[in-house]
Amino acid sequence: MGMHFRTRAIHVGQEPEPITGAIVPPLHLASTFVMRDVTTPTDYDYARTGSPTRHGLEAVLAALDDGTRALAFASGMAATHCVTGLLAPGDRIVTGTDIYGGTWRLFNKLLTAHGILVTAVDTTDTAAVARAVVPGTKLVWIESPGNPLLTVTDIAACATIAHAAGALLACDATLATPVHCRPLNHGADIVMHSATKYLGGHSDLLGGALVVADPELGTRLHWLQNATGAVMGPLEAYLCSRGVKTLELRVLAQSATALELAQWLTTLPQVRRVYYPGLPTHPGHALAARQMEGGFGAIVSFEVEGDLAAARRVVESTKLFRLAVSLGAVESLIELPAFMSHGSYEPSARRAGGITDSLIRLSVGLEAAADLRADLAAALQA
């Protein structure tokens, strides 16, 4: 019988150092490694290709997502960009409308300028995904839950559609984390995480990760990573390995608080609409209940009654919810997606996707739920 998730998070890739017995593997800052001779292969030669600290993190990330190989990158966007390196000019990507703003910018501003064709559809509509996948489609890129509207996409259905067309399915599972969902088990080929968020969990590192089930695909992606060089540094890998050890405990607690806050927000006259997959009224609730386990994540978005000025008053009035981009850390954060995390969208695309000026996104941290509720209540009355 295999180890449980939280046990793997603590022990895989984190074996005691054999010489001294140190319970925490040492941080290897070395950029180069001495070779025995010119021709004998060694485990390490240059830190861009691989380092002991990074490999320890990659081992545990692969184990947590039920994959065969993980690769750690300098940022989530570096990880995403590496996947697009599998494509050639003339190839097509199908993606969603409820995706991270940086991903939207990469696809629509950079890749299109290099001959990659990008089609964005509502990926909660499986039929729309199927219509969009045409000859030449090589990659279907989804997020579930989506950011910032928390839409839920059927990973298994998208995998079937992509594979029938000979395309790869990649899933940004940053918001779900491996605690709640492991997309490789639903048919995805590649999972992407912004390690900056829940994997690290403490607002003190920048990083990204890819996890794959197919070793050959892992080899191709590692070749691209080594060729382009956007690797995670050893200090970040060390910090992320430490963060991962408490991943399950943090995410389960944060998700429980998020559900409590989402339910409370639905009762307030100042709130027009709440977006959270854990609410039975959420259109993706039934799918999320099947596809996710242990909870529905710790991001809650809601629209306030009123205009941009009203929403701005709320986000600038909270004391515990800090006004900042990013998410997934022990500290709770609040932001206006239209002007912060998703400001890179064209305004027309943002509005078409349902990201209004009055939309507020919460990243629920580990503070006491009662304190967070009181903080929001005061800000909504400001």
Q: Cα(208)–Cα(204) distance, rounded to whole angstroms?
A: 13
- Who's near 200: CB < 8 A, 6+ residues apart? 207, 236, 239, 240, 243, 328, 329
What mean pLDDT comes out for the span 57-84?
A: 98
In the chain, DSSP assigns E strands to: 69-73, 92-96, 117-121, 137-143, 168-172, 190-194, 208-212, 271-275, 299-304, 322-323, 333-335, 359-363
pLDDT tens profile 140-161:
999 999 999 999 999 999 999 9
* Known catalytic membership, residue 48: yes
Find tokens 């995904």 and name the residue.
Answer: 129
What mean pLDDT comes out for the span 29-36?
A: 96
More confident residue, 121 or 2: 121
pLDDT tens profile 243-253:
999 999 999 99
Mean of all residue pLDDT scores within the chain: 96
Q: Cα(220)–Cα(227) distance, rounded to whole angstroms?
A: 11
Q: Set out the domains of the chain in order of their start, with CATH numbers.
A: 5-244 (3.40.640.10), 247-380 (3.90.1150.10)
Please give the structure tokens belonging to residue 39: 């021709």
Question: Of 100, 198, 238, 345, which residue is the catalytic one?
Answer: 100
Question: Of 48, 245, 273, 322, which residue is the catalytic one?
Answer: 48
Residue 83 has pLDDT above 70, yes or no: yes
Residue 114 has pLDDT above 80, yes or no: yes
Task: Note whether 281 and 273 are within 8 A (CB).
Answer: no
Q: Cα(219)–Cα(223) distance, rounded to whole angstroms?
A: 6
Task: Note whether 43 and 223 are within 8 A (CB).
Answer: no
What mean pLDDT comes out for the span 315-340?
A: 95
Q: Cα(329)–Cα(317) distance, rounded to whole angstroms?
A: 20
- Point out which residues pair with 173 in neighbouring strands: none
Q: Cα(150)–Cα(158) distance, rounded to whole angstroms?
A: 17
pLDDT tens profile 196-207:
999 999 999 999
Residue 1 has pLDDT above 60, yes or no: no
- Who's near 118: CB < 8 A, 6+ residues apart? 92, 93, 95, 107, 108, 111, 112
pLDDT band at 347 (very low <50, low <70, confident <90, very high): confident
- Closest by CA position to 376, among listed 263, 249, 253: 263
Task: Note whether 257 and 204 are within 8 A (CB).
Answer: no
Instruction: For residue 136, give the amino acid letter.
Output: G
Residue 18 has pLDDT above 70, yes or no: yes
Percentage, residues of the chain above pLDDT 90: 93
* Backbone dihedral angles phi then psi of residue 253, each to the nearest 5 degrees: -70, -45
Residue 346 has pLDDT above 80, yes or no: no
Helix (H, G, I), strand (E, B) or coil at 244: helix
* Known catalytic membership, residue 44: no
pLDDT band at 371 (very low <50, low <70, confident <90, very high): very high
Percentage, residues of the chain above pLDDT 70: 97
pLDDT band at 270 (very low <50, low <70, confident <90, very high): very high
What mean pLDDT comes out for the span 354-366?
A: 93
What mean pLDDT comes out for the span 216-223?
A: 98
* Known catalytic membership, residue 197: yes
Question: Of 98, 154, 172, 189, which residue is the catalytic one?
Answer: 172
Residue 87 has pLDDT above 80, yes or no: yes
Cis peptide before 145 (omega within 30 of 0): yes
pLDDT band at 340 (very low <50, low <70, confident <90, very high): confident
**What is residue 109's predicted lDDT score, i.e. its pLDDT?**
94
What mean pLDDT comes out for the span 271-294?
A: 98
**What is residue 196's predicted lDDT score, i.e. its pLDDT?**
98
pLDDT band at 343 (very low <50, low <70, confident <90, very high): low
- Chain centroid to CA 32: 31
**What is residue 167's predicted lDDT score, i.e. its pLDDT?**
98
Question: Of 138, 182, 197, 312, which residue is the catalytic one?
Answer: 197
What mean pLDDT comes out for the span 302-314?
A: 94
Q: Cα(202)–Cα(307) distance, rounded to whole angstroms?
A: 33
**What is residue 339's predicted lDDT score, i.e. its pLDDT?**
84
What mean pLDDT comes out for the span 78-100?
A: 97
**What is residue 136's predicted lDDT score, i.e. its pLDDT?**
97
What mean pLDDT comes out for the span 70-86?
A: 98
Task: Note whether 177 and 251 are within 8 A (CB).
Answer: yes
More confident residue, 111 or 348: 111
CA atoms within 13 A on the CB side of 179: 27
